[in-house]
Amino acid sequence: MKKRGIGIGSMFYGMGYGFSRPDISSAEVEICEDGSVIVRSGEVDYGQGSDTIFCQMVAEELGIRYDTIQLVTADTFTTPNAGPTSASRVTYVTGNAMVKAARAIKKTLQGVAQEILGEKDLLFSDEEIFSEAQPEKRLSFSKLAKECHLRGLQMVETAWHDITTKDVDPETGQGDAYATYAYATQLAEVEVDMETGKVEVLRIVSATDAGKAINPSNVEGQIEGGVAMGVGYALTEEIKLEKGYLKTGNLGEYMIPTSMDIPTIETHIVEVPIPSGPYGAKGVGEPASIPTAPAILNAIANAIGVRVTELPANLENLHRLIREKEK
């Protein structure tokens, strides 16, 4: 017999390191004589898509195409320190540094363009700089870059961003420990095989607060990846030690889910911009996976009337609970 259940998991999550631990990042934007743009940052893109959104942010500020930007990242020899890729902090901290560096160099460009065009209010768009009032007054981005270089101006800017917070009160534990918080809720629908203890996750619906999704496809990808990790955490992944030796040292024994184990995932990106984030954005990395296991375990409890208190809810553990209940 198979039984179905639905469960919900909700979380809030402090972004970055909090508790007065140093949390800084930096970025560098350089414009070359030919108008090409080089961006440098120590941040690592290990698949979550930070490289793409850095280019998007600089492109947005300078009015250029994001796919023309040259990006140099994660090299201690050439890039400024951005701190670790962790704590769901990259978009929030390094993103701010990116925008700051881009805005600083834009100021230089703007000054020269105002002088050449004789107009104060200028727009940067489609690789051009032009007057809003008199659109025929325009200048190409590459021409402006060359002019700045001819004038010997500083065409590289480094920006620093710090989100280090105050610590909480050591006596009471009260205070605002983090620079900002992220929120997410997920629903899981599962089917439990009462005869074998096997759990099939049928569907996950996720609502994740991204502040502002800089790249919605990336955010969706991160949520789907996070859900997959959460499914593994809930149902199969287990580190086994025997006399201190790791018995699950490869992916044949440490069971992560395959594509055949991942259900349909419905993602809803919730956008409530925060003033302290770049364009209102915050991180979604960990908020994508944190609610999944609680939602699945609640769904299991809903299906079979027994609460799992030990992970993973694998064949043996779950079937033992079913047997104990039937006794």
Partner 1 sequence: MLHFQFFNARSIEEAINFLAEEVEQCRIIAGGTDLIPALRKEDIHPDFVMNILEIDQLKGITEMDHAVRIGPTTTFTEMIESDILFRFFPSIVQAASSVGGPQVRNRGTIGGNIANASPAADVLPAVLAYDGELELQSKVSGKRIVRLSEAIEGPYKTRFLPDEMLTGIIMKKPEPGTRGLFEKLGRRNAMARARMNLTILLRLNEKEEVSEVRIVPGAVMPVARRVRGTEEMLLGKKSEPSLIEAASEVLAKEMVEVTGIRWSTEYKVPVLKNMFKRMMWQLLR
Which residues form the catalytic set?
Answer: 286
Quote the least distance from Cβ 206 to partner 1, whole Å. Answer: 21
Token look-up 């909480």 returns: 168
Tell me: does residue 258 bind partner 1 (CB under 8 A). Answer: yes
Smaller CB separation from partner 1, 277 or 312: 312
Candidates 99-107, 177-185, 220-228, 257-265 — which segment interacts with partner 1 by CB under 8 A? 257-265
Quote the least distance from Cβ 240 to partner 1, whole Å. Answer: 12
Tell me: does residue 310 bind partner 1 (CB under 8 A). Answer: no
| Sign of the CA dihedral with 113 first, then 119, 124, and 127 last | negative
Smaller CB separation from partner 1, 258 or 264: 258
Contacting residue, 261, 270, 276, 280, with partner 1 by CB under 8 A:
261
Contacting residue, 259, 309, 324, 327, with partner 1 by CB under 8 A:
259
Tell me: does residue 196 bind partner 1 (CB under 8 A). Answer: yes
Tell me: does residue 257 bind partner 1 (CB under 8 A). Answer: yes
Tell me: does residue 230 bind partner 1 (CB under 8 A). Answer: no
Residue type, 134: Q
Distance CA 312, CA 274 (A): 36
H or E element: which one contains 95?
helix 90-117
Tell me: does residue 172 bind partner 1 (CB under 8 A). Answer: no
Core vs surface per residue 276-287: b (16+ CB within 10 A) or e: ebbbbbbbbbbb
Tell me: does residue 327 bind partner 1 (CB under 8 A). Answer: no
Tell me: does residue 68 bind partner 1 (CB under 8 A). Answer: no
Smaller CB separation from partner 1, 149 or 198: 198
What crossing angle do the helices spanning 90-117 and 141-150 adopt, rounded to 10°? 80
Beginning with the edge strand found earlier in the chain, give each strand of the sheet holding 199-209 in spatial order: 2-14, 181-193, 199-209, 264-270
Tell me: does residue 319 bind partner 1 (CB under 8 A). Answer: yes
Smaller CB separation from partner 1, 138 or 319: 319
Count of C-beta atoms within a 10 Å radius of residue 91: 33
CB 220 within 8 A of CB 267: yes
Contacting residue, 197, 230, 278, 283, with partner 1 by CB under 8 A:
197
- Give residues with Cβ within 8 angstroms of 326, minimum separation 6: none
Tell me: does residue 314 bind partner 1 (CB under 8 A). Answer: yes
CB 276 within 8 A of CB 158: no
Closest CA to 110 of 100, 102, 120, 96: 120
Quote the least distance from Cβ 230 to partner 1, whole Å. Answer: 15
Quote the least distance from Cβ 261 to partner 1, whole Å. Answer: 5
Tell me: does residue 198 bind partner 1 (CB under 8 A). Answer: yes
Smaller CB separation from partner 1, 115 or 316: 316
Candidates 147-155, 202-210, 213-221, 319-327 — which segment interacts with partner 1 by CB under 8 A? 319-327
H or E element: which one contains 29?
strand 24-31
Tell me: does residue 320 bind partner 1 (CB under 8 A). Answer: yes
Tell me: does residue 104 bind partner 1 (CB under 8 A). Answer: no
Distance CA 168, CA 259 (A): 43
Distance CA 155, CA 89 (A): 28
Which residues of this chain interact with partner 1, rule CB under 8 A?
A: 195-198, 236, 252, 255, 257-261, 314-316, 319-320, 323
